[in-house]
Amino acid sequence: MNLKNKVLLLLSLFMFGSIFSQKRWTLEDCVSYAITNNLNLKDFELTTASGKETYKQSFREMLPSVSGFSDYNLTFGRSEDPNTGLFVNSDFFSNNYSLNASLDLFQGFQKLNMIKASKYLYKANMEDVKRQKFLLAFRVMSAFYDIQYYEGLLAISNSKVKVSKTNLVLVKKQIELGIKAGADIHEAKSTLLTDELEVTQNSNLLQEAKLRLIQEINLEGESTIEIYTELLGEHKNEQEQKQNTDSIFTYAKEFLPTIKAQELRVKAAKKEIKAARGALYPSLRLFAGIGTGYFETNTSEATNEVIPFKTQIEDNMSKRVGVSLNVPISDKWSRRSRVKQQKIAYMRANNNLKIQEQQLYQTIQQLIQSKNALAVEYEQSFQQMNAGEQTFKIAQKKYQKGLISALDLNQAKNLFATSQNKNLQVGLLLKVNSSTLDFYRGLPVFNINMNN
């Protein structure tokens, strides 16, 4: 069994040797739970719901406006009779009723353009929700692999403690045989205590990493979490699968929510320019209304009694229908200023799209460069770990024969542990880097449905 398999086996035993009654979380489990329970994500979903209602209302703006009116008036002293127009000096009451409706026939296509603009903005909000889901998934992935990293460090630290305990037993036997001086046991104990302190420190770091994951996925009522360790496989320099920045960028900008959302906002800004221009055109409106009223001063000439309510309502009925034309002549240049402001908003939206595309290209460029560098570094750290293991084994045998000091042995042990730590760290960084590139290539890294 080579060293790499031993390290992987050690990590597996460390992971699966803990309490099995507690649920173990995969990365997919963590991401799914976080998306369901994250409060910030819910806020973006509510924003999307608001955008959906705005989109629906833009259609309702095409409907006629209908309003009803009624009043009840008490008049005291000398005042104008609303029925005859004559001034009277008496107290009386009256009330009026009316129903009015209007329909915009033409407004420079403002409403149609606002329907399209609100539709694009609603879809942009939907893309923002997807973007937040992916950002959350990446944060969960980072916290997940932090746990795996510290679990690896803890396993390596426990191995050092095991070696130090074995050496302490050996020193005691050698002192009993007179091979070593009694003072040597203090050095062996000091080394063991140092290694045990390292175990405690790594254990604390592991608990902190678990707490970060618990907080990230919003797992309530839990103080710790157990994960399935995703063992590191062989990282090959696959020349036939060498990534190309341009090809990944071309694919990524077709589905990436950040880019799609900004593209939709550019389209919305363009429609808003047309809506603002529509305010420069004359507007045509159709209106109709019906009204009636009751007046206490309205009396019968024959009997001098107030005409009954029902009779007045029927007799005082009036109807109207018409068309109004409104031609904008001068409004202190505010409408044309609005058009200019919308043009600037469109240019800013378009510029922001270019900025985001540039940032995406640079990110992919950096990821590919990092992946190539990490792949080489991983192979070199793996070779260094192998060499460190052989050096430590030789030093251990020499120490058992009394050929080297405990200081030399401890140095070899620490160098081996450092190379293990480095290999583990680089391996996990390479895994995260590869997963991120797979995401930009459109692969289902987090199993999140982009069509939702």
CATH of the domain at 378: 1.20.1600.10
Q: In the chain, what is the straight-line distance between the N-terminal and C-terminal CA atoms, in Å?
A: 47
Residue 208 in any domain: the answer is: yes
Q: Report the chain's mean pLDDT, rounded to a whole number.
A: 86
Chain CA centroid to CA 76, Å: 66
pLDDT reported for residue 231: 63
Parent domain of 174: 3-440
pLDDT reported for residue 63: 92
Task: Report pLDDT digits (tens) over 273-283.
Answer: 999 999 999 99
Residue 445 in any domain: the answer is: no
Residue 450 in any domain: the answer is: no
Residue 30 in any domain: the answer is: yes
pLDDT reported for residue 238: 45
Q: What is the pTM of this model?
A: 0.80
pLDDT reported for residue 232: 61
How many domains does the chain fold into?
1
Cα(87)–Cα(299) distance, rounded to whole angstroms?
15
**List of the chain residues with pLDDT < 50:** 1-10, 13-21, 236-241, 452
Alpha helix stretches (DSSP H) within 88-183: 110-176
Residue bearing tokens 């290209």: 361
C-alpha distances out from residue 411 to 6, 160, 361, 395, Å = 21, 12, 45, 9
Task: Report pLDDT digits (tens) over 397-408.
Answer: 888 888 888 888
Q: Which of 129, 114, 139 is nearest to 54 (CA)?
A: 114
Residue 247 in any domain: the answer is: yes
Residue 447 in any domain: the answer is: no
Residue 448 in any domain: the answer is: no
Cα(150)–Cα(213) distance, rounded to whole angstroms?
13
**Helical axes 110-176 vs 3-16, angle rounded to 10°:** 100
Residue 449 in any domain: the answer is: no
Q: How many CB atoms lie within 10 A of CB 246?
A: 10
**Contact call for residues 136 and 306 (beta carbons, < 8 A):** no
pLDDT reported for residue 313: 87
**Contact call for residues 152 and 230 (beta carbons, < 8 A):** no
Collect all residues with Cβ–Cβ distance below 8 Å to 377 and sequence separation of at least 6: 426
